[in-house]
């Protein structure tokens, strides 16, 4: 049975979704629920579920931030987002490929059934692919791994906005692939995967930029019977993608990150989520998350925690009460603040404060 965690700030919604999941008879077991982002992260890390269903708007840490914080630790977990009508289109464009599906409000049994069927299929495919990687020891397996290496390189060049390196990478790959002894089906599927990875990154950089309709649909690619046809298709597709990359790389990274760092330092007491940061610089949240991590060498959540902890240490050295420090540092839950502080400083706030307590001479 597949395990599932549901996160929503409304208890009535949690209970309704749980009841619907049970009625689907699709072998999903709700192992935990949470009503805010902070508790949500805790139960996800504790239960390590197969599927997470989260509202996009939850207190403490929004749904996007929760996903961004946990997805690296749980690469095989499937994420599903509950989204209100007004934010649905934005959410669909903003979230990374890790999110499998969306349930738009009002939530109905039909929508839950449809989404969980998709989740079940996704989990099944992931399991099959894992078994495939473990069992396959042939030269074909080595080439599949080479394709994955190419996917990683393409992703990096796309995120960097480096058109020249992108095209160079493709041309070198095309020259090498022609001599590979793998099945046409494997070859075709890996080529298509690379193209759609690039398309999704291009879309994240600029949600208004549409290119999929300019590229031959997969149903037509499946009819190609020669490797040379697929290579020609891939070269044409990446020429278009490269042109799109140049168009969408107008915003300077050097301007974006300093604005965000200043914003975080001025608003660290508030509940800052990925959506809010993205709105500040008019950028796609998923792309912004990658850009921030690439530039600052840590996620925005870790950077925000660092700012909060340094402020907390400063106030503790001044003798302020720990409960007051918790509020001043942006944590409304004293116990959670203590947990975060101990993880950051390897001691409790009271212990840190005691170290800086002035000596009293009798």
* All structural domains of the chain: 2-134 (3.40.50.2300), 142-250 (no CATH), 253-355 (1.10.10.60)
The answer to whether 307 and 268 have CB atoms below 8 angstroms apart is yes
CA distance 304 to 297: 13
- Of 75-84, 170-179, 206-215, minimum mean pLDDT range: 206-215
Under 8 Å CB-to-CB from 167, ≥6 apart: which residues?
A: 238, 239, 242
What's the Rg (C-alpha) of the chain?
24
pLDDT band at 144 (very low <50, low <70, confident <90, very high): low
* pLDDT score at 94: 44
- Of 50-59, 118-127, 156-165, 291-300, minimum mean pLDDT range: 156-165
CA distance 222 to 338: 56
Which pTM does this prediction carry? 0.45
CA distance 147 to 314: 50
């Amino acid at each position: 049975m597949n395990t599932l965690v549901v996160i929503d700030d409304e208890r009535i919604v949690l209970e309704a979704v749980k009841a619907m999941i049970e009625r689907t008879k699709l072998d999903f077991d709700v192992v935990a629920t949470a009503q805010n982002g902070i508790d949500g992260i805790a139960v996800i890390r504790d239960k390590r579920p197969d599927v997470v269903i989260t509202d996009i708007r939850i207190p403490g840490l929004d749904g996007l931030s929760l996903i961004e914080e946990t997805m690296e630790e749980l690469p095989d977990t499937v994420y599903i987002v509950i989204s209100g009508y007004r934010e649905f289109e934005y959410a669909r464009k903003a979230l990374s490929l890790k999110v499998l599906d969306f349930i738009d409000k009002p939530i109905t049994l039909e929508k839950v059934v449809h989404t969980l069927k998709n989740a079940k299929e996704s989990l099944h495919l992931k399991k099959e692919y894992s078994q495939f990687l473990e069992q396959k020891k042939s030269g074909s397996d080595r080439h599949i791994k080479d394709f994955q290496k190419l996917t990683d390189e393409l992703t990096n060049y796309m995120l960097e906005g480096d058109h020249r390196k992108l095209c160079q990478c493709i041309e070198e790959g095309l020259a090498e692939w022609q001599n590979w002894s793998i099945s046409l089906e494997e070859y075709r599927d890996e080529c298509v995967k690379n193209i759609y990875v690039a398309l999704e990154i291009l879309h994240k950089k600029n949600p208004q930029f549409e290119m999929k309709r300019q590229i031959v649909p997969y149903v037509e690619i499946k009819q190609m019977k020669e490797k040379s046809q697929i290579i020609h298709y891939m070269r044409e597709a990446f020429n278009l993608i490269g042109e799109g990359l140049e168009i969408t790389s107008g915003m300077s990274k050097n301007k974006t990150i300093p604005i965000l760092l200043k914003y975080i330092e001025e608003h660290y007491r508030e509940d800052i989520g990925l959506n809010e940061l993205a709105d500040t610089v008019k950028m796609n949240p998923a792309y912004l998350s990658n850009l921030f991590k690439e530039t600052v060498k840590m996620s925005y959540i870790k950077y925000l925690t660092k700012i909060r902890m340094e402020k907390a240490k400063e106030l503790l050295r001044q003798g302020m009460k720990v409960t007051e420090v918790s509020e001043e540092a942006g944590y409304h839950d004293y116990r959670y603040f203590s947990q975060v502080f101990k993880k950051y400083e390897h001691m409790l706030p009271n212990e840190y404060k005691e170290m800086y307590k002035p000596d009293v001479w009798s």
